[in-house]
C-alpha cells in the first residue's frame, strides 16, 4: 500500500466468508515477508488464511494510541533504551534488582503491560501466533520493531496510511456481516477518531485527562492545544503538545501551565537561512546514513563545519551560527533547574528558550555553548523528522535522537581529530585535556569524551585513566 517499509497484501474470502472476517494475506516489512503463510498469493508472496476481524477491532480500539501516543509510561525508560524493542528486557533487568520493592514492580508492570500491548500489532490476532511487531510514533517517524532483526525508523504518515487503507479494505469486505464480533469491529473502526479534545491530548502528552484540564485552565482546549483553525479530532503535533509530553516527569501541572502559556504566545520567525542548511544536508544524510546515533551525529557535525566554511581546528561560537540563521536565543525561566533549553520551530519560532534560572546548568558559559550546539543539531536534523515542532533539553525525548544530538554537539565544538592531535603534542593526558577544554571552551567532560572516542593510541596508563573517567559519568 502507501508505505515502502510497511505493506499489507490482503484478499477477502468469498462473500459469505468475507462478511465474517475471513480472508488471506501477508505483511511485508521493508519489502520482505514478515507475517506470511503457505498459500500462494500475488507478487510471489505467501499468504496465510485466517479471520481478520480481530485485527480490525484492534485497529479501531487503539487507533488514537497508534496515532498520538509517543511517550513511554515510566520516566526511567527513555534513559535506558534506544527503541521500543529494548523496553521489556530493560524492565526485567530493573525489576530483578528490586526484590524488596514488590509494590513498585507491580505498579510499573501494570503501567507498562497495556502500553506495550496496544503498541504491538501482533497482539491483534487471536488463535494464530505471529511474531511481534512494535509500533511507536516519534514525531514524523515511527519505530517498527520486529521480534528479531533490525529496528526500522519509518515515515509515520505513509505507515499510518498503510494501516488506514488496510482497515478500510477490511471494513468494506465485512460490510453487511451479522456476526456480533464483526459488527463490533466495524463500529470500533467507524468511531476510531471520536473523543473529547482533552482525552486525545491525554494520549498525546501522557498526562491524565483531569490534569490536562488543570494545565489548560480557563483557556479554550482546542485553541490552546491544537493548531489554530484545526478540527476537534485533528491533533497534529504542536509546540504546546510536544512540550507538555516532554515535561511530563519534570514539571508540576501549575509550573507547566505557565511555561506552555509562554510558548503559545511566541511569534513566527523567518526560517530561510536555516531551511537552506537543512535542504543542503538532506541528500547528504540519505547517502551517508549510519546505523548508530553517535555516528550520525558525528557525520552531521563534520558536514556542517565544512558547509559553514570552518576549518577542522577552528573554534566555533554556536550563538553566531544561530544569529546567522535568524534563530533568536531568549533567556527564559523554564521553571526547573534540570531543564537547559526549550526550542520551538512549528507554528511559532524557530526560537531557543535558554534557561536563565541561577541554578540551571546553562549558567556557565561552556555549558551554554554546548547546549546551543545541541539545539543546532535538532534544528538541522529533526525539524522534519522525530521532532517536528519542539524539543526540551532535560525533558523526555526519544533516546536515539538525543544521543545523536549529544554526539553532534561534542564534534561540532571539538572535533575528535583535534583532540587526537592535541594528545600527541602534549606532554601528558591532563595537559592535553586542559588545553582542549580551555581553547575550545567546552567542559572537561566533553574533552574527555572526544579524546576517548577519537581512536587515538594512548599509553596504557592514560587509557585506563581516561576510560575510568568516561565510564564514571
Give the residue from 255, 210, 260, 216 showing the smallest Cα distance to 240: 260
Range of the domain at 390: 272-413
Strands 329-332 and 351-355, bridge-based pairing: parallel
Query: Does residue 392 share a domain with residue 341?
Result: yes
Query: Does residue 180 share a domain with residue 134?
Result: yes
State pLDDT tens for residues 104-126. 999 999 999 999 999 999 999 99
HSE-CB for 85 with a 13 A CA cutoff: 17
Residue 129 lies in a domain: yes
State pLDDT tens for residues 335-381. 999 899 999 998 888 999 999 998 888 889 999 999 999 999 999 99
Residue 103 lies in a domain: no
Query: Does residue 163 share a domain with residue 42?
Result: yes
SS3 state at 196: coil
Residue 223 lies in a domain: yes
Residue 88 lies in a domain: no
Answer whether residue 404 shows pLDDT above 90.
yes
The whole-angstrom separation of Cα 105 and Cα 369 is 40
User: What is the phi/psi pair of residue 193, to 5°?
Assistant: -100, 5
Query: Does residue 136 share a domain with residue 258?
Result: no
Query: Does residue 329 share a domain with residue 385?
Result: yes
Q: Place 1 in a pLDDT band, splitting at 50, 70 and 90.
A: very low
Give me the number of domains the chain comprises: 4
Look at residues 398, 413, 428 and tell me which one is the last residue of a structural domain. Answer: 413
Query: Does residue 49 share a domain with residue 159?
Result: yes
The string over 274-308, giving b where at least 16 C-beta atoms fall within 10 Å of a residue's C-beta and e elsewhere, is beebbeebeeebeeeeeeebbebbbbbbbbbbeee
Query: Does residue 171 share a domain with residue 26?
Result: yes
The string over 325-338, giving b where at least 16 C-beta atoms fall within 10 Å of a residue's C-beta and e elsewhere, is bebebeebbbbbee
Query: Does residue 397 share a domain with residue 424?
Result: no
The whole-angstrom separation of Cα 355 and Cα 339 is 7
Query: Does residue 186 share a domain with residue 202?
Result: no
Q: Which distant-in-sequence residues (6+ apart) come within 8 Å of 329 by Cβ?
A: 319, 322, 351, 352, 354, 372
Number of neighbours of residue 201 by Cβ within 10 angstroms:
29
Query: Does residue 392 share a domain with residue 249?
Result: no
State pLDDT tens for residues 200-241. 999 999 999 999 999 999 998 888 998 766 665 666 788 999
Query: Does residue 459 share a domain with residue 340?
Result: no
pTM: 0.87
Answer whether residue 459 shows pLDDT above 90.
yes
Residue 111 lies in a domain: no
Number of neighbours of residue 391 by Cβ within 10 angstroms:
29
Residue 101 lies in a domain: no
Query: Does residue 139 share a domain with residue 10?
Result: yes
Amino acid at each position: 500500500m502507501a508505505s515502502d517499509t510497511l505493506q499489507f497484501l490482503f484478499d477477502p474470502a468469498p462473500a459469505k466468508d468475507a462478511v465474517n472476517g475471513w480472508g488471506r494475506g501477508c505483511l511485508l516489512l521493508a519489502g520482505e515477508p514478515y507475517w506470511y503463510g503457505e498459500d500462494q498469493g500475488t507478487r510471489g508472496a505467501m499468504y496465510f488464511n485466517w479471520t481478520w476481524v480481530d485485527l480490525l477491532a484492534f485497529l479501531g480500539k487503539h487507533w488514537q494510541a497508534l496515532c498520538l501516543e509517543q511517550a513511554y509510561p515510566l520516566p526511567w525508560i527513555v534513559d535506558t533504551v534506544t527503541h521500543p524493542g529494548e523496553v521489556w528486557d530493560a524492565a526485567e533487568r530493573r525489576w530483578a534488582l528490586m526484590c524488596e520493592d514488590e509494590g513498585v514492580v507491580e505498579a510499573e508492570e501494570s503501567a507498562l503491560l497495556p502500553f506495550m500491548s496496544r503498541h504491538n500489532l501482533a497482539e491483534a490476532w487471536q488463535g494464530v501466533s505471529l511474531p511481534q511487531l512494535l509500533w511507536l510514533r516519534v514525531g514524523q517517524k515511527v519505530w517498527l520493531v520486529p521480534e528479531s532483526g533490525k529496528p526500522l525508523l519509518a515515515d509515520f504518515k505513509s505507515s499510518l496510511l498503510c494501516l488506514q487503507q488496510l482497515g478500510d479494505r477490511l471494513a468494506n469486505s465485512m460490510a453487511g456481516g451479522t456476526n456480533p464480533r464483526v459488527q463490533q469491529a466495524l463500529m470500533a473502526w467507524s468511531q476510531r477518531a471520536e473523543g473529547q479534545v482533552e482525552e486525545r491530548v491525554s494520549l498525546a502528552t501522557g498526562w491524565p485527562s483531569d490534569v490536562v484540564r488543570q494545565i489548560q485552565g480557563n483557556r479554550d482546549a482546542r485553541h490552546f492545544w491544537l493548531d489554530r483553525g484545526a478540527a476537534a479530532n485533528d491533533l497534529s503535533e504542536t509546540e504546546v503538545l510536544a512540550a507538555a509530553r516532554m515535561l511530563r516527569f519534570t514539571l508540576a501541572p501549575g509550573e507547566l501551565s505557565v511555561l506552555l502559556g509562554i510558548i503559545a504566545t511566541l511569534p513566527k520567525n523567518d526560517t530561510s537561512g536555516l531551511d537552506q542548511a537543512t535542504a543542503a544536508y538532506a541528500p547528504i544524510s540519505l547517502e551517508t546514513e549510519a546505523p548508530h546515533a553517535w555516528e550520525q551525529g558525528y557525520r552531521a557535525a563534520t558536514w556542517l563545519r565544512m558547509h559553514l566554511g570552518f576549518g577542522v581546528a577552528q573554534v566555533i561560537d554556536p550563538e553566531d551560527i544561530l544569529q546567522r540563521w535568524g534563530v533568536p536565543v531568549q533567556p527564559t525561566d523554564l521553571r526547573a533547574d534540570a531543564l537547559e533549553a526549550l526550542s520551538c520551530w512549528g507554528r511559532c519560532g524557530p526560537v531557543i528558550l535558554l534557561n536563565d534560572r541561577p541554578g540551571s546548568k546553562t549558567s556557565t558559559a561552556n555549558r551554554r555553548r554546548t547546549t546551543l550546539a545541541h539545539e543546532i543539531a535538532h534544528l538541522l536534523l529533526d525539524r522534519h523528522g522525530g521532532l517536528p515542532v519542539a524539543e526540551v533539553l532535560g525533558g523526555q525525548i526519544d533516546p536515539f535522537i538525543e544521543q545523536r544530538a549529544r554526539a553532534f554537539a561534542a564534534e561540532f565544538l571539538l572535533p575528535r581529530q583535534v583532540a587526537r592531535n592535541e594528545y600527541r603534542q602534549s606532554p601528558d593526558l591532563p595537559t592535553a585535556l586542559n588545553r582542549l577544554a580551555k581553547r575550545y571552551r567546552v567542559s572537561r567532560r566533553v574533552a574527555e569524551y572526544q579524546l576517548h572516542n577519537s581512536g587515538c593510541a594512548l599509553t596504557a596508563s592514560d587509557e585506563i585513566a581516561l576510560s575510568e573517567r568516561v565510564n564514571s559519568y
